[in-house]
Amino acid sequence: NALTAHPLCLLADMSRQFPKVTLSEAEEETQLLAEKVYASALKEEDNKDALSMFTVPEDCPIGLQQAKEHELLKELAEQQSEETSKRKKSLKMIRSQSMSLQIPVNADWTRSLAATPFLSPSSTCSSVQENCPDYQRVTISGDYCAGITVEDYEQAAKSLFKALLIREKYSKLAYHRFCRTAAQFLRRAEAMRWSEEDEVLPDICPCPSNGEDPYSMDNLPENLNYELKMKDGIVNVYDNEDALEKNCPHDLPYPDLETFAIDLISKTKGSCHCTYCHRRLNFLSSKFYLHEMLNEMAELKELKSVPHRDFYNVRKVSGQFVSVDTHIHAAACMSQKHLLTFIQKTYKSDADRVVLEKGGQKMTLKQVFRNLNKDPYDLTVDSLDVHAGRQTFHRFDKFNSKYNPVGASELREIFLKTDNLINGEYFAHIIKEVAHDLEESKYQHAEPRLSIYGRSPEEWHNLSKWFIHHKLHSPNMRWIIQVPRIYDIFKLKKLVPNFAKMLENIFLPLFEATVNPQKHKECHVFLKYVSGFDSVDDESKHSDHMFSFRSPKPEQWTADNNPPYSYYIFHMYANIMVLNNLRKERGLNTFQFRPHCGEAGSITHLVSAFLTTDNISHGLNLKKSPVLQYLYYLAQVPIAMSPLSNNSLFLEYSKNPLREFLHKGLCVSLSTDDPMQFHYTKEPLMEEYAIAAQLWKLSTCDVCEIARNSVLQSGLSHQEKQHFLGVNYLKDGPEGNDIRRTNVAQIRMAYRHETLCNELSFIVDAVKSEAMNSQNE
Ligand SMILES: [Zn+2]
């Protein structure tokens, strides 16, 4: 891979550049393969062949039989090869070495870890020792333990290694979190030392302390007088007009579509090793089953010894330990009952207030209801008709219309919009009531999504003004901006000439507010409480464009059709990355990218998200691809899952993979998505936890693990995370856990950590053994 820098800025400091990759001829074959996969995203019917490398023929007995026969032949061939038996031997040696390092013989977990410089470079083991009790470990011994032929194992490991490296690169450049344990193992494979200083972490504003004005506009940073210009759909930053003319942008990483597409290709290449990943995932599942059988009581005992904790009552437990609703839409964050009461209350006081303009005519609340032929006092939860039911399953269109109370868009406009005739006053009031309930409950937080559409550059100004005018900050809420993927609609209505204009409307105002906060005061203040971006819409909608590095640049995207998912994701990521680097330079907070992904549609969405996101919402389709699922596990990419929402839209509750993901060790959290549509009680997040715990018979430790994941994944600040999880939360394993705060047993933490280390060591060992072999040759 050739690395080339910006031609005009060769002398500048290159510390944070986006390494440009060009396609070599040798890779053309992979490229064709990747294109086949992406083409298959276009049409669901004939994607069987192309997607077969992502999936295992689990439900097809003939396919399984064939696969087994094929494997047997390979095993036999390998037995006869002298070369492979040599490699097998060396692998066996390497494996037994790393196994002995991982599994403490003398049952002293921490001492052996401290003896492994790579695992825990700065461990303060004396304090940990008392934290981590002994427990019964599950180990496999003999052979090199991968369970497949040497060649398949080595190739699979190499591809997974490469995929992890690519995610690490994309995460670091965007100030997204990358799993520390995975980073440590990657360095080990490269024979380098991991150090804490190399770690790149997001910057999130701490919550204003008591007595501090959250909306203060004093002491704003000064104007940098930078010039901004959108180029290939990405905002470029220039120090001054001269630099702009000379096309010499400020030293920031500017990603390009071509490199991204090629990175995607090399990741797709890594997807041919399904059998290995499938086996490892099955192993993880079985291992957890054994772990639970052997240690369930020990975990419970540990929790019981923590004072003042009630662990039988799940509700109380998740009420006591902080949980964050990691995926919730602001326009549906209240219960139906709450909305109904609010509408009736408002009617009582505001019946004669002008609240709506329709067809040039101003209407009072009374007139609106008369037009709808409804009496607000006769309204019931049922007639409000905002709840999703059987009729919305697999019908996203019907679901979307459920956002309209009594099926009338007028009521949605009046009560659930930020930018209307009454300046979003009612919507702000409802949200404040929801925030108040959260503050009362004390231990629940939420990250509601507000929309920015990209149809006009005014949107940010209006949204910020709404936020500050109505004083919407709450210590229990962080805000996420959702961008609906509806370019085609704006194009049809002639609101934007091309896709680049939509991106400009979304991102340029953010750059302007970052360069000159004094001119964009409201936006600057509002952005302190925005923790990230989301990309939303029905993923099962197909685009008729195939994503590749030959895709037109956003300026050239003048067609009426909607760009595909990956195209949206890349351009959002690219702008967030540049923006984060600019903001970091100024000492301002950075943003996470947390799109909806893998709820439906092509599994290529999950490939794009693996590179570009901090964490995702839904992830259901990981179920279909062992390779991606295993990668999401190895990199510990957080997934906010909403089984109740899925149950009404895409997947029956009993078939939801959350429990399976959790047990294997994927970093999953529980979230509500749309309480107005899916939940019945005043505490929708508790409802979500309670139903999951009951239906799946989750243990207290399971539930608390989910709650802990939700805090880790959230956009809460470093200080808040320290407060809720323990001061060392950035450290992986029991060292990073404060059981008094999280109620997650140290045994569980140790099990998860050791298991992840074991899986990662497989990859490192294969890469190391290959390096050794090539040295010997
Ligand atoms: Zn959602």
State pLDDT tens for residues 414-424: 999 999 999 99
Element (H, E) at 488: helix 487-492
Distance CA 416, CA 405 (A): 10
> pLDDT at position 104, please?
47
Q: Give yes or no for residue 270 having a pLDDT over 70.
A: no
- Which residues are catalytically annotated? 618
Distances in whole angstroms, Cα of residue 733 to Cα of each of 25, 132, 675: 43, 10, 33
542 Cα to the center of ligand 1, angstroms:
19
Cα torsion 214, 217, 219, 224 to 10°: value is 120
Residue 628 three-state SS: helix
597 Cα to the center of ligand 1, angstroms:
10
594 Cα to the center of ligand 1, angstroms:
11
86 Cα to the center of ligand 1, angstroms:
52
689 Cα to the center of ligand 1, angstroms:
17
137: closest CA among 164, 103, 163?
Answer: 103
Distances in whole angstroms, Cα of residue 556 to Cα of each of 63, 501, 772: 44, 11, 49
Cα torsion 45, 50, 55, 57 to 10°: value is 70
Distance CA 488, CA 491 (A): 5
509 Cα to the center of ligand 1, angstroms:
25
> pLDDT at position 532, please?
96
278 Cα to the center of ligand 1, angstroms:
29
Which alpha helices (H) appear in 639-699, and where do they start and end?
643-649, 658-664, 675-678, 684-696
> pLDDT at position 92, please?
82
CB burial string 668-706: b at 16+ within 10 A, e below: bbbbbbbbbbbbeeebbbbbbbbbbbeebebbbbbbbbb
Q: Is the separation of the CB atoms in 341 and 376 below 8 Å?
A: no
DSSP 477: B
599 Cα to the center of ligand 1, angstroms:
9
> pLDDT at position 41, please?
59
Which residues 6+ apart lie within 8 Å of 99 measured at CB?
139, 141, 145, 758, 761
Distance CA 562, CA 569 (A): 13
> pLDDT at position 2, please?
38
* pLDDT top residue among 37 and 171: 171
DSSP 564: P
397 Cα to the center of ligand 1, angstroms:
14
* Cβ neighbour number for residue 167 with a 10 Å cutoff: 26
405 Cα to the center of ligand 1, angstroms:
18
DSSP 454: S
Query: What tokens does 174 get?
Result: 């965007």
State pLDDT tens for residues 56-113: 555 666 767 777 787 788 778 877 778 777 888 888 888 877 776 665 443 444 444 4
- pTM for the predicted model, two decimal places: 0.89
Which residues 6+ apart lie within 8 Å of 770 measured at CB?
154, 158
674 Cα to the center of ligand 1, angstroms:
7
Which alpha helices (H) appear in 174-197, and where do they start and end?
180-189
Highest mean pLDDT of the ranges 114-118, 196-200, 702-706, 772-776? 702-706
Beta bridge partners of 449: 329, 480
> pLDDT at position 42, please?
56
Burial bucket for residue 71 (CB in 10 Å: 0-12, 13-18, 19+): middle
> pLDDT at position 312, please?
41
Beta bridge partners of 229: 236
CB-proximal residues (5 Å) to ion ligand 1: 673
504 Cα to the center of ligand 1, angstroms:
24
At residue 7 the predicted structure's pLDDT band, cuts being 50, 70 and 90, is very low
Looking at every residue in the chain, the average pLDDT score rounds to 85
For the chain, the 3-state helix, strand and coil shares in percent, each to the nearest 5, are: 55, 10, 35
* pLDDT top residue among 384 and 611: 611
Element (H, E) at 757: helix 746-776
596 Cα to the center of ligand 1, angstroms:
7
At residue 399 the predicted structure's pLDDT band, cuts being 50, 70 and 90, is low
Residue 281 three-state SS: helix
Q: Is the separation of the CB atoms in 43 and 542 below 8 Å?
A: yes
State pLDDT tens for residues 134-154: 899 988 877 666 677 888 888
Percent of the chain at pLDDT exceeding 90: 56
Q: Which residue has the tokens 């893998």?
A: 598
Distance CA 260, CA 266 (A): 10
Residue type, 448: P
Highest mean pLDDT of the ranges 395-404, 496-505, 618-627? 496-505
Q: Give yes or no for residue 507 having a pLDDT over 60.
A: yes
527 Cα to the center of ligand 1, angstroms:
21
Distance CA 158, CA 267 (A): 11
Residue type, 716: L
Distance CA 201, CA 256 (A): 23
State pLDDT tens for residues 174-223: 999 999 999 999 999 998 999 988 899 999 999 998 889 999 999 899 99
